[in-house]
Homo-oligomer: A and B are copies of this chain.
Amino acid sequence: MDTRTRRREIDDVASELFHANGFAATSVRDIAKALDIQAASLYAHVASKDDVLWSIVDGAATDFEHAADRALGDAAEGDAVERLAALVEAHVEVVTADPERSSVFVTEWRHLSGSLRAAVESRRDAYEARFRGTIAEGVGTGAFRATDPAIAATFVLTALNGIATWYRPDGRLTPDRIADHYVDLALSAVAEDHG
């Protein structure tokens, strides 16, 4: 197994443990045991438990960022409605592709210390700004009603992140159906009332 594959495997196993028991309650020994290797062997790949958390959070953040950039790129010719739909769809795709990792990203990132935590905080804010900016744009053009773009973006994003807490690959809804529903609910939440 090459280093890259092994590193990804460590992140996957650690994501499951952090998701199930929390970062604080999981030891490097637990991660090694779940990988069926000695803790000493694990230290050949990772410097510390914080290092594993950083790798998971950084990987998840990068996937969310790339997916959002692709979504905004694909919808570049469209209006704010299409762009918000594309952002929501992309987010659902990343969450459902790896719910454990997404859940760790959403709930355990605050256990990162100092500059790493600050770096994630600013990346989260920049990510949220894509939603905020798209909603503000739609409010400006009249596609969306005069809502507060910051609070509307938070409302939509917290609902989206919640998927990581309840999604089951063997559940009633496929990722595509969840995306359809969430696009529908998110767009309606900010839509101009034509009543």
Question: Quick check: is A78 within 8 A (CB to CB) of the other chain?
Answer: no
Write the chain B residue with the least CB distance to A187. Answer: B189
Write the chain B residue with the least CB distance to A24. Answer: B25
The answer on a CB contact under 8 Å between A194 and B195 is: yes
The answer on a CB contact under 8 Å between B194 and A185 is: no
Write the chain B residue with the least CB distance to A26. Answer: B24
Interface band, chain A: 35 or more
Q: Interface code A85-120, partner B: CB below 8 Å = 1, 0 otherwise?
A: 000000000000000000000010001000000000
Interface majority SS on A: helix, strand, loop or mixed? Answer: helix
CB distance from A65 to the nearest CB of B (A): 20
Q: For A161, list chain B residues within 8 Å (CB).
A: 158, 162
Question: Quick check: is A37 within 8 A (CB to CB) of the other chain?
Answer: no
The answer on a CB contact under 8 Å between A155 and B185 is: yes
* Complex CA–CA separation, A181 to B1 (angstroms): 52
Question: Quick check: is A186 within 8 A (CB to CB) of the other chain?
Answer: yes
